């Protein structure tokens, strides 16, 4: 069945300017970290991706190692790009990253020019496109000179393989140095992608100030703390949840009685706002002045719809913010 996107797709999405640039991003962007690999249902991830586009989500965020297996999310996205979205490439912002282990040997990880150039070439081949809109260095490399890594990002733009570059997981001092080098090279940093949520607030300790001072956009990942900030954990740890699995980024040990108490108290505030807990958590992230967009994952179209409906209520009263702060720090 041929896909025809909704004519009304741009009417209800909010678009925010990304730092000091001409680029606008949707307030909600779709991350393909989970649910788009070869182990996942292709019909489901096609439905999610097309529902995102129908809803005005124009930004799709990938990385070389997304899957599993690594690389398969880019391959699967590329297939949909070649069929359903073939005539809509110029309506999309496609981003990918390199910085974590992707292949064996000394050149398949971290931040050398060799790795970054090779990785992006592989990513472009998997997706079947000549360039990405944003290419990120996924994490700082303690052993490679920052100048080499930033020079590689600059070269990638000058080669036409990316329109913009960004950083991810850089701490304030590292970010400031990298931003300065890129500026000198003539390829300014567009955006930073940190981990940020009600339960992970380290970007407030200097990073946001750096981004605001340098007029750089911000797109937090894991805004729902790997699902903790949803209704999934209100009554404990479900057997089907990420925390119940032995492997993964969210471990059962992280769901303490104190954390469950916080989650339930936050959920009560969300109810008074006529929001789900997830919606309130996303709105709380988006309230930050430097946040351009927030990255969400989705395992179903219904879950994605829930995230998008966050935009119906983004305002917080000072009383609400104070109560939330007391819950998070108390």
| Residues 176-208: tens digit of each pLDDT | 999 999 999 999 999 999 999 999 999 999 999
**Does position 222 have pLDDT exceeding 80, yes or no?**
yes
**256 band by pLDDT with thresholds 50, 70 and 90:** confident
**Does position 17 have pLDDT exceeding 70, yes or no?**
yes
Domain extent listing, the chain:
15-227+287-313
What pTM was estimated for this model as a whole?
0.94
Topology at the third CATH level for domain 15-227+287-313: TIM Barrel (3.20.20)
pLDDT of residue 1: 75
**Does position 235 have pLDDT exceeding 80, yes or no?**
no
The total of other beta-carbon atoms located within 10 Å of residue 325's CB is 11
Percent of the chain with pLDDT over 90: 91
Burial pattern 7-26, b for ≥16 Cβ within 10 A else e, equals eebeeeeebeebbebebbbb
pLDDT digits (tens, 9 = 90+) for 110-148: 999 999 999 999 999 999 999 999 999 999 999 999 999
Contacts 24+ apart (CB under 8 A), 70-74: 70/102, 71/102, 71/122, 71/126, 72/36, 72/37, 72/38, 73/32, 73/33, 73/36, 73/37, 74/123, 74/126, 74/127
């Amino acid at each position: 069945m041929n896909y025809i996107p909704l004519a009304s797709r741009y009417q209800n999405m909010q678009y925010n300017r990304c730092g000091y640039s001409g680029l606008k991003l949707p307030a909600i962007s779709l991350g393909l970290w989970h649910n788009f690999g070869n182990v996942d249902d292709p019909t489901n991830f096609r439905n999610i991706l097309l529902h995102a586009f129908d809803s005005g989500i124009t930004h799709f965020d990938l990385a070389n190692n997304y899957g599993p297996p690594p690389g398969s999310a880019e391959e699967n996205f590329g297939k949909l790009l070649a069929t359903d979205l073939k005539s809509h490439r110029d309506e999309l912002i496609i981003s990918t990253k390199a910085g974590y282990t992707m292949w064996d040997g000394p050149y398949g990880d971290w931040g050398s020019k060799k790795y970054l150039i090779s990785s992006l070439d592989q990513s472009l081949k998997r997706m079947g496109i000549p360039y990405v809109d944003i290419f990120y260095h996924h994490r700082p490399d303690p052993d490679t000179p920052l100048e080499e890594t930033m020079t590689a990002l600059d070269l990638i733009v000058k080669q036409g393989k990316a329109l913009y570059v960004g950083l991810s997981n850089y701490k304030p001092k590292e970010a400031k140095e990298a931003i300065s080098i890129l500026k000198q090279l003539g390829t300014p940093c567009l955006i930073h992608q940190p981990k940020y949520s009600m339960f992970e607030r380290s970007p407030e300790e200097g990073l946001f100030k750096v981004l605001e001072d340098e007029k750089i956009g911000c797109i937090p990942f894991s805004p729902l703390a790997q699902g903790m900030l949803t209704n999934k954990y209100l009554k404990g740890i479900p057997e089907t949840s990420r925390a119940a699995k032995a492997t993964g980024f969210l471990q059962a040990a992280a769901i303490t009685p104190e954390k469950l108490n916080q989650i339930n108290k936050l959920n009560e505030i969300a109810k008074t706002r006529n929001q789900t807990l997830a919606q309130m958590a996303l709105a709380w992230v988006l309230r930050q002045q430097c946040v351009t967009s927030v990255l969400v994952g989705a395992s179903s179209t219904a879950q994605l719809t829930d995230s998008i409906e966050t935009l119906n209520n983004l305002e917080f009263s000072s009383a609400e913010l104070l109560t939330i702060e007391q819950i998070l720090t108390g």
